[in-house]
Structures are given as C-alpha cells and as structure tokens.
C-alpha cells in the first residue's frame, strides 16, 4: 500500500471516529473543573456551547484515543507517512461535518472551521510521519496485536532518536521477548520509560540511562535522609531551617532504579548495572 492509499485508509477511520462524536475523557472534565470551577454537566455543556473556553476544550478533546490509534496503525507503512502527504488532508471538506461533542447523549455541534481544526489536530497527533522501519523484522517475532501495540506506543510517545537509540529500543524488545517469563504489560512499561528518557537524544543510551540512574540514586538517598530528619525534628523546624522536602519519594526513586536496572540488564547486556550494585 503506497503512502497515498495508506492516508486514504487512515483518513476514512478518522472520519468514522469523528462522525460518532468527540467524547470528553475524565482528564478534560478535571481541567474544566479545576480551571473554571464547573462540575455540573449542564453547566459544562453551556460553557462549551458559548465558547467561553477560548479554544482550550477543542484542543484537549482533539487527541486520538488508543482505540483510534490502534485502528490506523496497521495501515501506516513501516517508514511512516510523510508530512507533505498527510497535510493534504487537513483542509479537504469532510463528508460528515459538522462534527459534534457528545456529553451525556447531548450533542454540541461544531462549526465547519472547528470541525476542520479537530480533524487537523487528530491527524497531526497520530504522528504518522515517524519512521519505524527498524522494527519491521519483528513482525515475524510478535503476534500482530503486540507488534502493532509496540508501534502504537512509540508513535504515541513521538519517539524520535538516533541510530543508537533505535538499536537500544530494538534490543530491549527482542531481549525481553526471548525471556521465559514475560508479559506485554511489563514490556510496554519498559518501552514507555525508555522512550521518555531517550526521546530526541543522540547520545549513547547507556550514558543517558547512567545519568538517570545516578539522579534517582541521589534522590533515593535524599529521601531517606529527609525521613530521618522527620523522626527527630518537626516539619515546622525543618522548614525554618530552609530544608526543602525531596521532590521524589524514596519509593518512587527506588521503583525507577529497579526499572532502569532491568532495562540495562535486558537491552544493554550490562549486569554491572544490576540493582544489587546500585548502593
């Protein structure tokens, strides 16, 4: 399937999704509640209808769901779809416009411009242009669900890195898959964390992870020291001494250290970074 045929398929799926209505998630409701003090659904509907949000709601609601991402991923070529191809769809009149926001079975119709804005944002946020060709040979290793789930995650994370980063991600995936005890949920967690740390970086992934490891090691020690202070002094006294509480709890730092160690052991082949040797 060439890029234009792929884009036709993607556009059709996006159109079907939008035609069913844009449905706010809990994150959007939380934003409206915290930013504007609205919790009642009728008040929220009136607020959006009157356009008092200055476009914030349209922007937040125009994120592709995981279901939509999953539906289009199989139609995206391994090398992705270039920007100059998918941007041609931005201003093409949609068949089902105007779109609408659906809240408690009540439809808030959008203008043609707002409808085009939502479609443009969703297509752009699918990150169709990201080249995942380096994973193509893994199609024979994973089931279709897991393979496209991995691609979906990398595309959702907007994972773009140099050759070393791509090799590291691939080594992590293949190394984890070769283990006797494995599950998709843990693999996706490890991939997600690795993406967060390596994204848009050209340095050696091992160097980047080593720096992160030292950061969380120091954060862990600082959290332990602060906990000791709390056992001896009151919080009021500690604040008077201008001692700042740690930004990360000991439990959070410990969890990150364990995950970084696991990533190293699977992808880096470096047992010396095992958690038992962190301290």
Containing 49, the helix (H) or strand (E) segment is: helix 41-49
The domain boundary, picked from 198, 218, 247, lies at 198
For residue 269, the model assigns a pLDDT of 65
The reply to whether 258 and 234 lie within a common domain is: yes
- Cβ atoms of 120 and 64 within 8 Å: the answer is no
Helix (H, G, I), strand (E, B) or coil at 233: coil
For residue 270, the model assigns a pLDDT of 55
The reply to whether 144 and 249 lie within a common domain is: no
Phi-psi sector, 37: left (phi>0), alpha (psi -120 to 50), beta: left
Q: What is the pTM of this model?
A: 0.84
For residue 141, the model assigns a pLDDT of 79
The reply to whether 150 and 245 lie within a common domain is: no
The reply to whether 180 and 262 lie within a common domain is: no
**Angle at which helices 3-19 and 66-73 cross, to 10°:** 150
The reply to whether 167 and 83 lie within a common domain is: no
The domain boundary, picked from 105, 125, 145, lies at 125
177: domain range? 133-198
The reply to whether 32 and 108 lie within a common domain is: yes
The reply to whether 177 and 271 lie within a common domain is: no
pLDDT in tens, the chain (279 residues): 788 899 999 999 999 999 999 999 898 999 999 988 988 888 888 888 887 777 888 999 999 999 999 999 999 999 999 998 888 887 776 666 689 999 988 999 998 888 889 999 999 999 999 999 999 988 887 776 789 999 999 999 999 999 999 999 999 999 998 887 778 889 999 999 999 999 988 889 999 999 999 999 999 999 999 999 988 888 888 888 888 889 999 999 999 999 999 999 999 765 444 444 444
The reply to whether 177 and 229 lie within a common domain is: no
The reply to whether 42 and 146 lie within a common domain is: no
For residue 144, the model assigns a pLDDT of 62
Provide the domain count of the chain.
3
The reply to whether 92 and 30 lie within a common domain is: yes
The reply to whether 112 and 145 lie within a common domain is: no
The domain boundary, picked from 95, 125, 155, lies at 125
The full length of the chain comes to: 279
Sign of the alpha-carbon torsion through 204, 210, 215, 216: positive
The reply to whether 34 and 85 lie within a common domain is: yes
**Opening angle at CA 81, ends 80 and 84, nearest 5:** 145
190-241: per-residue pLDDT in tens?
999 999 999 988 889 999 999 999 999 999 999 999 999 988 888 888 888 8
**Opening angle at CA 265, ends 259 and 269, nearest 5:** 150
């Amino acid at each position: 399937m060439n890029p234009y045929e792929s884009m036709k398929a993607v556009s059709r799926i996006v159109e079907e999704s939008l035609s069913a209505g844009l449905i706010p998630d809990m994150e959007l409701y939380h934003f409206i509640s915290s930013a504007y003090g609205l919790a009642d659904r009728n008040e929220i509907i009136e607020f959006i209808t009157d356009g008092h949000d200055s476009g914030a709601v349209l922007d937040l609601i125009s994120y592709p769901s995981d279901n939509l991402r999953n539906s289009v991923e199989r139609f995206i070529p391994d090398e992705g779809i270039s920007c100059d191809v998918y941007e041609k769809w931005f201003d093409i009149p949609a068949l089902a416009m105007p779109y609408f926001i659906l809240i408690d079975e009540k439809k808030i119709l959008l203008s043609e411009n707002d409808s085009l804005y939502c479609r443009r944002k969703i297509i752009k946020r699918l990150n169709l242009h990201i080249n995942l060709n380096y994973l193509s040979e893994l199609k024979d290793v994973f089931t279709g669900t897991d393979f496209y789930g991995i691609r979906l995650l990398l595309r959702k994370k907007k994972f773009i890195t140099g050759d070393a980063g791509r090799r590291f991600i691939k080594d992590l995936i293949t190394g984890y898959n070769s283990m006797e005890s494995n599950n998709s949920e843990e693999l996706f967690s490890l991939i997600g964390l690795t993406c967060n740390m390596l994204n848009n970086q050209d340095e050696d992934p091992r160097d980047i992870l080593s720096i992160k490891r030292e950061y969380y090691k120091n954060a862990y020690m600082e959290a332990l020291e602060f906990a000791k202070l709390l056992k001896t002094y009151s919080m009021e006294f500690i604040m008077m001494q201008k001692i700042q509480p740690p930004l990360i709890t000991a439990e959070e730092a410990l969890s990150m250290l364990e995950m970084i160690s696991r990533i190293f052991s699977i992808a880096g082949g470096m047992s010396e970074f095992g958690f038992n040797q962190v301290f």
